[in-house]
Structure formats: C-alpha cells, structure tokens
Amino acid sequence: MNYSTELIKGTLKTIILKLLADNKKMYGYEITQKVKELTLDRIQITEGALYPTLHALEADKLVTTETEYIGKRIRKYYSLSPTGKAQAREKVKELASFMDTMISLLDIKPKMT
C-alpha cells in the first residue's frame, strides 16, 4: 500500500530527524534509500520534498552539514545538532501520541502479527 502525499508530507521532518538521530550523518540519496529499505518501498521520499526540508532544518539549526569531495563533486552530509537531537525525540513522541489518538478516534484495532 502506498500512502497519500498528505500523510507523508506531515511526517517528513520527523522521519528525517529520526533517521539522522539513528545514523549519525547521512547524505540525501542515503536518506531516500534508508526510508525505502525500512518501509519496504512503501514510502518513497522524492528529491523535491527532501532537499527543501533538509535546507529548512539547517536554517532552523536543527541539522548541521559537512562536505566531502567525491572526485570532483561535493557530497553534503547532514547530522543532528544538539537542538536537533532534542527536537527529534520530541517529534517522535508527538507523532506516537498522535497515532495513539488516531487509533482511538478511528477505532482501529491493531493487527496481531
């Protein structure tokens, strides 16, 4: 099942912050692949959504960047700042609480797997 754009858009910041919290430093392509891998291809983050969000997080000082030369091209690695680490925890907590509320609101019975 592919999820709607609206659902993913609202959680993109949280996804990125959590991935960076778990993986120290990552570059753009790596983030998209990690999301695909962890969600078994059910969530695919496009470049059009990823990079604007990363740049906004950088402007908010939640992530920091470092560059590395790969031959002639520059690779930008993103990692969490101390504020970003706290924000990642807060965002995940908020999303978990929201999901609990939605489960209760929509009367969804959790799957027993």
Q: By the criterion CB under 8 A, which residues form the site for another protein?
A: 5, 8-9, 12, 27-29, 43-49, 51-56, 59-60, 65, 67, 70-76
Alpha-helical segments (H) within 24-77:
28-38, 47-59
| Minimum CB–partner distance for residue 80 and another protein (Å) | 18
Burial of 12 (0-12, 13-18, 19+ CB in 10 A): middle
Q: How many helices (H) and strands (E) does the chain have?
A: 4, 3
Closest distance to another protein from the beta carbon of 5 (Å): 5
Least CB distance to another protein at residue 74 (A): 5
**Residue (71 or 110) nearer to another protein, CB:** 71
Q: What gap in Å lies between CA 80 and CA 19, rounded to an integer?
A: 10
| Distance of alpha carbon 1 from alpha carbon 24, whole angstroms | 30
Nearer residue to another protein within complex by CB, 8 or 17: 8
Q: Which is nearer to another protein, 74 or 111 (CB)?
A: 74
